[in-house]
Structure 1
Amino acid sequence: MRLPYENSTSGRSAMDDIRKTIMAFGCSKFAPMEDFQAGTIAIQFEYRGRAVQVTASAKGYAAAWLRHNPHSSRMRRSRIEHERFALEKGQIAVWSILRDWIKGQLTAVETGILSFEGAFLGQILLANGDTVLDRITSQGLLPGPEGDRHD
């Protein structure tokens, strides 16, 4: 089984697609950010005064890719090169994942399937810079499922 998005090639051009999508939806602000140390990509935007931050982990994607494509001694590249290759795949894939997820959520809002808050509740930024999900998690209001790999 192949991991979704493992053959993505659009990379950062997906960022332009995200910008176009949120502009068409009427969002007033847009800011992409990469945290090279953490291996994450964050997209911030604002809609009717609601600041939203959606974050994806290239390192998380790379770890999933490595579970599907473990290194073997028969490979022509070393384990370290294989892990770097996985991270490169992750850095490309997460842009496409964010593009598709944001587009899907905004389309659900536009077509009345979800309210804006219903679509982005966990990603809405609070005044202190935390997301609603960060606050809920830190207060233990929503216990994580067994085997949760996102901690």
Structure 2
Amino acid sequence: MTIMMDKDALNAFLARDFPQVAGQYLVEAVSGSGLTARLRVADDHLRPGGTVSGPSMFALADLAIYCAILARVGPVGLAVTTNASIDFMRKPAAGVDLLAECRVLKLGRVLAVAEALIFSEGQGDPVARCSMTYSIPPKSSEIRGV
């Protein structure tokens, strides 16, 4: 797949368009086969019992898949999640960052389907698996019929 945005462009996009979360996440790698993103785990990501919360893991998967799609279509800020499924498989470590390894399974004109495996850094088994479908809005020229 052709790469339209590399990791630096994606991180700059997040900082500009999503400053409320940009410091928590980092796109670490982009390739033709996928993308790796990091959640910098902090105390506000933890739940009782000393583990990373489900909503924090879901947010990482959503952001990582969103960036994996943007890496291929360019900076389309209005691309939105239309379907999501997540399986929590293991308890993530509390004091360790989480990494999401994504791959885009299908990239169409209107819909994109992708998946992410989430790992506690340094551990081999995934803690969660997520699949998502995104709606990609038409380009402005398509909206106007140009």
Q: Which has the higher strand share?
A: 2
Q: Which has the higher helix share?
A: 1
Higher-Rg member (1/2): 1
**TM superposition score normalised by structure 2:** 0.31
**TM superposition score normalised by structure 1:** 0.30
